[in-house]
Structure 1
Amino acid sequence: MDVITGWLYNGPLQRAKYEDFSTIDWIYDNTKARHYKNDLRMHARNAGWRGRLELLVDASKSWVILLCVGVTMGVVATCISVSSQWLVDIKGGYCRTGFYLNRRFCCWNSEDVCVDWVTWSEALHVRWHWLEWLLQFLVFLADAILFAGISTFLVTEYAPYAAGQGIAEIKTIMSGFMMRRFLGLRTLVVKGVGVVLSVASGLSLGKEGTMVHISCCLGNIYTRVFSKIRNNEVKRRELLSAASAAGISAAFGAPIAGVLFSLEQVSYYFPAKTMWRSLFCATVTAVTLKFLNPFRNGKMVPFQTTYDRVWDHFELWFFVLIGMICGVVGMLQNQLALFLMELRQRSAIKNFARGEVLVVALATAVISYPSVYLRADMVTLVSNLFTECTGQEISGLCSREDRAGNIVALLFTSVLRVLLTSVACGLAVPAGMFTPSMATGASIGRALGMVIQALYENYPTWRLFSACRPDVPCITPGVYALVGAAAMLASTTRMTVTVVVIMFELTDALIYVLPIMLAVTVSKSLADLFGKDGYFEGIIHLNGYPFLSMDQEYVLQGSSNELMVQASEMAVITTTGETLESVANLLRQYSYGGFPVIKSRATMSVSGYISRSDLSMVVERALASSVYTYSSPCCFSRDIVEPLEDILHQAVDFRPWVDPTPLTINHGTDINLVAEAFRQLGVRYVLVTHHGSLLGIITKKDIIKLTERAPKRVYAQSALSSYHQLLEYDDKNLSTFCSLLCSFFFTFVDVPYSSLLLNLVHLYFCQAEISQC
């Protein structure tokens, strides 16, 4: 692009390439997309059938990208699931008939004893029991350290962005922040390989959460194929929102939950068309998983299960209790994990990331090996905890003789799991916390279900169990595990509808939607009493990402003139009178992200705004050419139409990169309205003016700093607050409380469950008032 574009230039605003760790201009990119579409339509009208074909091809580009993302995500998820399970099993032995087979496939046709699976002690012909135990433990220990070491080496050496879960960073990127290489090819490869190794190492981590990062990496890579999307950051983020749904679809075999996750957690701006694209991408992923059938049992994920019996009304109180316990435990896990992350950042531990991973892997292996519930991989553990006892023994969970010991073991496992997960979440390895949280909640729920089952068997005539029929099992501990997993996941992530739908799609039973909704609502509400931020929001604040949450309200005091940076403290550019040397000195002297353009310093009348990246690009091009010198004049105003003849061939034209209509506000505007403008419009700055004269500027960073200091709108002041106090702080809690009232009412009058679900969904989305119940 030439530096001089002609004195009669009145074309659209132009932008340099966004710099790393900068914020995109939503308004500019949306306008750019509209201009592109209008130009294409005008061309189609004049080109006949060829023009209509071009329109069709252009419209199909987004769908082709999403189709490729869905298919690739299904293949990647299959590879990750199969390979991670093989590495987990290889710590205990190998398959005689095929070393590449994991234990499940090796023993596929075996009923009781699997003769094809050989433990390492059997392979070395060790006969003594204590020596056999020691050998298996040493192999378990060595593999854990080896796998964790390779994983952290790949992350720290080749792709530091592959560490962690990645959802917090994706939320920030979706809000308009640029993080180059976070969604690149190298990050994708290291993330996929590293998560297999970190899960196989036995660290208290899961692979499900990382699927969202992997799917967004795929979406980002495929968008580079078409320049229309590659050069427009807003269009790219629309497709990344849809791609994120494929991650949840692949992780849980739940395409509908994937769409809701994209809406509830990832998407910052969610156009209606993005929902249809999200559903398409998530469905393609689910169909691909179903076709590949990675577990050879028709299931898309190992812990899909079904139940044969319904729940009784008296169990609702126990589901509420599970929600309360998991709400507190999930909140404590978040606080501990974020505290340890902050401790790493402020101490010398951050300089020994690899050594820390090895130490934690060693400690985790030593702690986990003696316990069957900690030693088992979490996918298998969650699957066993969800499974209903039907005569087949499941890791001792169905044994009545060992019931008391299993209850204590499950509760002890939950405590250790919270500690190990909190430590592992901040390590320099690919890590997810969905499955560990589900495992903790499922252990708590299963233990409580076993307690209630024991009470029923010993005291069947209690009035509490009057609804139970003597010839049918009354209590199903697996259902309590399912409810506990949902409640714990809601407490840590603050997701609600997504969690309910995930559990519904895992069980295929509409009858359990109400217990899950009840536990999730109680869990999230209780966790919100101690702070509305979930795990992802906590990481965003800890790392200082420029993110304004769309689902929180801030109580801000003051007006724009109290927050703005005064014009006297700013560096400004005049429309005329500037030289290339003065502009270059301005860039060297100040590190601001942009500069207001004014007509004169006497009137301070606003003429436009130019970003630092655009200004730097034009200056560098001008100095690199042989046409301009440091004394060359510069022009920033589009009002000049007929300049002098000598200026025509000498001036550097900055006008194509100057925004002639920057967003301006009056100096007395309420600061809450300014904050809403930043959240809803996605602007990077606003200029504060009075009768067209520049008074100051407010940037997104100023708003973020203010919201961090301001009190957030909370649900209640204490756990003993009345319902009236609980509801007056937020309309969403009004709807939630209304939903609970309606749920109990419809339950006890035996309204069909389909009607109940429709009423609950209506109440949630429409924010119904109490009177509408």
Structure 2
Amino acid sequence: MPSGLSGSTGSNAAVGPSESSSPNASSSRLAGSGEDFLADTSRRSSALETEMLTAGERQEDADEDLEEDRVIYEDFTTIDWMKDLMRDYRRQSRKRSGHRPESKWHRIQAVFEATQSWILISIIGKSSGHWISIGLVAGWIDVVAAWLGDIRFGYCSTEWHISKSICCTGQYDADATCAAWNDWSSVILRSRGWGFVNWIFYILFSTVFASACAFLVTRLAPYAAGSGSAEVKTILGGFIIKGFLGTKTLIVKAAGLPLMVASGLAVGKEGPMIHVACCVGNVFPRLFPKYWRNEARKREILSAASGAGIAVAFGAPIGGVLFSLEELSSFFPAKTMVRSFFCALVATVTLQLIDPYRGKRVLYQVTYSRPWHFFELIFFIILGVFGGLIGVVLISVNRRVQKFRKQSLLKLHPIYEVAALAAGTAFVCYLNIFTRVDSSDLLEGLFRECEEADFHGLCNRDGRGRIIALLVVALIMRIMLTTITFGIKIPAGIFIPSMVWGALFGRVLGMTVQSWQEHDSTNTLFYSCPPDGSCVTPGVYAMLGAIGALGGVTRMTLSLTVVMFELTGTLNYIVPCMATLMTAKIVGDFFGKGGFAEMQIRMNRYPFLDPREDEVIGLTASEVMTPSAELVCFVVSGMTVADIEEALAQARYKGFPVLKSLDDLTLVGYISNDDLRHALERAKQQYGILPTASVVFEDVLADFSGIRARRATGTSIEHGSFANASSSPYFDAYSDANGAPRLHHGSSRRLLQLASFLDHSPLHVHPNVSIELVMDLFKKLGPRYVMVLHMGRLQGIITKKDILIAMYGEEDEQREETGFPSFTTASLRSLMSAEPALSGSVSSLFGSQTPTASRRAGAASRARKLRPSEAFGSGTWGTAGGTNSSSRNSLDGSTAGERAAAEDGDFIPLGVRVLSGSGRASFEVK
């Protein structure tokens, strides 16, 4: 081989002129150029792929930072259970599959991640046992309320700051007189027994305490008014009421409850303790980001806290857990049950250690020496009937009283109203011993068996008629006072007052049956009774009457049975309790479903769907939905930042459906304006994007498969893809490792990509699906919205607002102020405008808003024109990501079959308003 030829493979410079001009040499050069071109293309494509994979890894790290600092929900909006739970699952997945090397600190973090829920529950559990937080608040309320309540009658001469029960322990003489306790007549007139002077001081102190309580509530924390159980139930159902569980509300309610109890008003403190406990349960999760930044997970803690509130109020930890499960919580998975049980365990042990009831195991510790007899079931059922009827009366009358209060001048002077009610209540209650004493003391006395002690003559057989008359008068007075008192601007509950009603009625019935049996012991009805003694225990009737009345007011069964057992320590009356509660519930439900809390929810129009109730409406999704003609939609590309900002600034709705294009109205996804605002704010803060920057709702990184081929052929990439790897017009709001947007420079064009913020798979249903199925989706899955699609085309959207309007209709009365100024003053339509339903409009862009009633009528009218079998087919539901419509060839995106059906009058496509281009006008596509 010539020497020159051997050098040709090493260097082109070594090749001689004769050889370089040969055909073989030319062919070799071409082959080498082709190989070099392919190698260079491969290297560039691999580098680009590596860069994009690295960006994807950085995006995964940034996702967690972004999701942690994002404010997802605004005030008075509904959370998306599915979205929050998926965020938590993604967070756990990233932590488990992280690329960080294993280290001691990493293992500590993993242990903390796995145990922080138990740590948090332990704190709340101990709180319910009177150690910290809830326990301190409960202890404060009990001690201060007892002392202030006794101040109305007098003071302790030895230590003025203690209550009468402590002052007179071991101090009573033979006449049952406590020398250490001075009533106000002995202080003013130096002589005991002047009832008129004591009466005046009783009225004076009651009025002052109630007025001070109302002043704190109205001036500092309006959310502290009322029981709070209805609002807690709504919050646990997925609604956001900022400030309702805040620190200021907690302080004011804790300070106001002792004043309310001491004022003697005919309301209780046990219901508000649920609110107080949830306030504490809302504070502790701030120490645990896993729960504080995830609203769905936080509600698991609030469910346990609400059970702790009942445990504190009644000394019934197991009943508190069951109460939270049966009455309050909408989402109560098995693990929450286990954690709540652990909370109850800690609470029970702590209660035994602290011994808060001075030697008694439970709050109302009673023992009954006689068993119950089967003939008494008749009277137990009568107690249940009374409980159900009294619950119906309370719900109906109190609703009218609160409506009158909101429409009268009383709403302008809440403190004067409270003062007048307190003075009037004290004036009439002082005259009857059974209305003068504290409600808890009255219940304990009514539950007692006569063999234990005599409570103000209840066991005096000679004066039985007079005692029964006093009990009947006390029952009537307490029913009337509680009915008109609940709803004023003070913390107030309904549990103990309703129990007092039932206990008074039960004691009257028990004393009556006892007297009958004693005077007619040969009657066949009493054949099982011993001939030489009484077999009727009036205290049992009082206990069953109390639980029956509480069941009639709340419509609960299981948890109340357990609560009553824990309150009294009696386990021999399971069958009577069950019979009484079931009767009360049946009677109450006969006149209307839902208890007192549900009445408050409906009256205040809170967005709550009760998962325990099955409503039959008889409509389809197309008749209930907000039709697409009233929606403002975005398209995937063609919009600018200025368009988005203008829509956000002027709109009242909370999100936008995103369509594929003007020619193809296939639903691509849904984006909330919270996410839109967040993306724009981060982009402005980090890079100061211009209003002219383009916005797309598709994932540019996901389309990498065609980049290598286009790079090899030299094809330009536009509209959301890379023009080149080093100078991209692409703007990724998720790509920076610090959670801030990253901008690729080198081009005058800037593109804001928002695909990561888009919900690509919203739940959707067919237009002909029954609304009952949609309700089940909302109750069991907890979405903020459900899309209505036909062959992939958007037909409308359904939210809780639409379902509630379909269930209850448009009420004629206007909503007035109820103590929640920025929330319940609006009608349901305005209230639920905070939902993702796009019921509002941007007047300058999209025209006027159709009223809700007209909207539903129009939707129903359009739906009636549809033929389900020909237009839509059978109803199904799924995710939008799994639906691909057939090709659309016209501007309205309809298929040939749809257009033919429309010409025949079988199908009329619903219009869609699409915002695109400059955003200065909307295109209504029919």
* TM value normalised by structure 1: 0.87
Is the contact between residue 71 and residue 285 of structure 1 (CA under 8 Å) also seen in structure 2? yes
**Post-superposition offset of 1:291:** 2.7
**Equivalent residue for 1:119, pick from 183, 204, 212:** 183
Structure number with larger C-alpha Rg: 2
Is the contact between residue 305 and residue 506 of structure 1 (CA under 8 Å) also seen in structure 2? no
Q: Counterpart in 1 of 2:707?
A: none
Is the contact between residue 699 and residue 753 of structure 2 (CA under 8 Å) also seen in structure 1? no
Q: What CA deviation, in whole Å up to 9, does each residue of 1:458-506 have, x standing for no partner?
A: 2222222221114553111100000000000000011111111111122
Is the contact between residue 326 and residue 484 of structure 1 (CA under 8 Å) also seen in structure 2? yes
Q: Counterpart in 2 of 1:47?
A: 102
Within 5 Å, which residues of 2 pair with 1:458-473? 458-473=519-534
**Post-superposition offset of 1:295:** 3.4
Does residue 92 of structure 2 align to residue 31 of structure 1? no
Does residue 211 of structure 2 align to residue 139 of structure 1? no
**Post-superposition offset of 1:701:** 1.0
In 1: Cα distance, 2:650 partner to 2:771 partner? 30
Does residue 75 of structure 2 align to residue 20 of structure 1? yes
**Equivalent residue for 1:630, pick from 667, 691, 702:** 691
Residue 148 of structure 1 aligns with an amino acid whose one-letter code is A
**Post-superposition offset of 1:669:** 1.9
**Post-superposition offset of 1:416:** 1.4
Moved more, 496-505 or 624-633: 624-633
**Post-superposition offset of 1:322:** 1.1
Is the contact between residue 250 and residue 289 of structure 1 (CA under 8 Å) also seen in structure 2? no
Within 5 Å, which residues of 2 pair with 1:160-239? 160-239=222-301
**Post-superposition offset of 1:346:** 3.0
Q: Counterpart in 2 of 1:736?
A: none
In 2: Cα distance, 1:135 partner to 1:255 partner? 43
**Post-superposition offset of 1:623:** 4.9
Residue 560 of structure 1 aligns with an amino acid whose one-letter code is A
Within 5 Å, which residues of 2 pair with 1:457-536? 457-536=518-597
Does residue 636 of structure 2 align to residue 596 of structure 1? no
Q: Counterpart in 1 of 2:384?
A: 323
4+ aligned runs moved over 6 Å, structure 1: 5-10
**Equivalent residue for 1:242, pick from 304, 308, 315:** 304
In 1: Cα distance, 2:692 partner to 2:782 partner? 38
Moved more, 172-181 or 102-111: 102-111
Residue 548 of structure 2 aligns with an amino acid whose one-letter code is A
Does residue 211 of structure 2 align to residue 155 of structure 1? no
Residue 96 of structure 1 aligns with an amino acid whose one-letter code is S
Q: What CA deviation, in whole Å up to 9, does each residue of 1:399-455 have, x standing for no partner?
A: 112211111221221121111111121011111111000001000000000111111
Q: Counterpart in 2 of 1:89?
A: 150
Residue 27 of structure 1 aligns with an amino acid whose one-letter code is M
Moved more, 141-150 or 408-417: 408-417
Q: What CA deviation, in whole Å up to 9, does each residue of 1:141-168 have, x standing for no partner?
A: 1111111111111111111111111110
Question: SS state of the match for residue 670, structure 2?
Answer: strand
Question: SS state of the match for residue 311, structure 1?
Answer: coil
Q: Counterpart in 1 of 2:402?
A: 341
In 1: Cα distance, 2:279 partner to 2:591 partner? 34
Does residue 717 of structure 2 align to residue 655 of structure 1? no
Q: Counterpart in 2 of 1:429?
A: 490
Two-structure CA RMSD over aligned residues (Å): 2.2
Q: 1:8/1:292 Cα in 2 relative to 1: closer, same or farther (>3 Å)?
A: closer
In 1: Cα distance, 2:491 partner to 2:799 partner? 34
Q: Counterpart in 1 of 2:141?
A: 80
**Equivalent residue for 1:677, pick from 765, 777, 792:** 777
Q: Counterpart in 1 of 2:899?
A: none
Residue 64 of structure 1 aligns with an amino acid whose one-letter code is I
**Equivalent residue for 2:340, pick from 251, 254, 278:** 278
**Equivalent residue for 2:357, pick from 295, 308, 311:** 295
Residue 120 of structure 1 aligns with an amino acid whose one-letter code is W
Within 5 Å, which residues of 2 pair with 1:613-624? 613-623=674-684
Residue 182 of structure 2 aligns with an amino acid whose one-letter code is V
Q: Counterpart in 1 of 2:900?
A: none
Q: What CA deviation, in whole Å up to 9, does each residue of 1:687-734 have, x standing for no partner?
A: 111222222211221112112249xxxxxxxxxxxxxxxxxxxxxxxx
Question: SS state of the match for residue 613, structure 1?
Answer: helix
Residue 596 of structure 1 aligns with an amino acid whose one-letter code is P
Question: SS state of the match for residue 787, structure 2?
Answer: strand
Within 5 Å, which residues of 2 pair with 1:397-416? 397-416=458-477
Does residue 615 of structure 2 align to residue 554 of structure 1? yes
Q: 1:299/1:511 Cα in 2 relative to 1: closer, same or farther (>3 Å)?
A: closer
**Post-superposition offset of 1:54:** 3.0
Q: 1:454/1:279 Cα in 2 relative to 1: closer, same or farther (>3 Å)?
A: same
Is the contact between residue 517 and residue 534 of structure 2 (CA under 8 Å) also seen in structure 1? no
Is the contact between residue 125 and residue 346 of structure 2 (CA under 8 Å) also seen in structure 1? yes
Q: What CA deviation, in whole Å up to 9, does each residue of 1:313-359 have, x standing for no partner?
A: 11111111111122111210121112212222333322221111111
In 2: Cα distance, 1:297 partner to 1:405 partner? 34
In 2: Cα distance, 1:616 partner to 1:37 partner? 26
Is the contact between residue 341 and residue 426 of structure 1 (CA under 8 Å) also seen in structure 2? yes
Question: SS state of the match for residue 155, structure 2?
Answer: strand
- Identity fraction in percent: 39
Question: SS state of the match for residue 344, structure 2?
Answer: helix
Is the contact between residue 293 and residue 300 of structure 1 (CA under 8 Å) also seen in structure 2? no
Q: What CA deviation, in whole Å up to 9, does each residue of 1:345-379 have, x standing for no partner?
A: 33332222111111111111112110111111101
In 2: Cα distance, 1:83 partner to 1:285 partner? 22
Q: What CA deviation, in whole Å up to 9, does each residue of 1:74-128 have, x standing for no partner?
A: 2232222222111111110111221122111111113532211111111223448
Q: 1:403/1:44 Cα in 2 relative to 1: closer, same or farther (>3 Å)?
A: farther
Residue 30 of structure 1 aligns with an amino acid whose one-letter code is L
Is the contact between residue 235 and residue 241 of structure 2 (CA under 8 Å) also seen in structure 1? yes
Q: 1:31/1:460 Cα in 2 relative to 1: closer, same or farther (>3 Å)?
A: same
Is the contact between residue 514 and residue 534 of structure 2 (CA under 8 Å) also seen in structure 1? no
Residue 306 of structure 1 aligns with an amino acid whose one-letter code is T
Q: 1:6/1:133 Cα in 2 relative to 1: closer, same or farther (>3 Å)?
A: same
Q: 1:359/1:21 Cα in 2 relative to 1: closer, same or farther (>3 Å)?
A: same
Within 5 Å, which residues of 2 pair with 1:719-738? none
Q: Counterpart in 2 of 1:721?
A: none
Q: What CA deviation, in whole Å up to 9, does each residue of 1:219-240 have, x standing for no partner?
A: 1100111111110111100111
Q: 1:35/1:617 Cα in 2 relative to 1: closer, same or farther (>3 Å)?
A: closer
Q: Counterpart in 1 of 2:323?
A: 261
In 2: Cα distance, 1:149 partner to 1:516 partner? 39
Q: 1:596/1:233 Cα in 2 relative to 1: closer, same or farther (>3 Å)?
A: same
**Post-superposition offset of 1:621:** 4.3
Within 5 Å, which residues of 2 pair with 1:384-403? 384-390=445-451, 392-403=453-464
Q: 1:337/1:161 Cα in 2 relative to 1: closer, same or farther (>3 Å)?
A: same
Is the contact between residue 44 and residue 50 of structure 1 (CA under 8 Å) also seen in structure 2? no
Unaligned runs of 5+ in 1: 711-773
Moved more, 492-501 or 9-18: 9-18
In 1: Cα distance, 2:101 partner to 2:362 partner? 49
Is the contact between residue 518 and residue 533 of structure 2 (CA under 8 Å) also seen in structure 1? no
Is the contact between residue 438 and residue 484 of structure 1 (CA under 8 Å) also seen in structure 2? yes
Q: Counterpart in 1 of 2:644?
A: 583
Is the contact between residue 362 and residue 567 of structure 2 (CA under 8 Å) also seen in structure 1? no
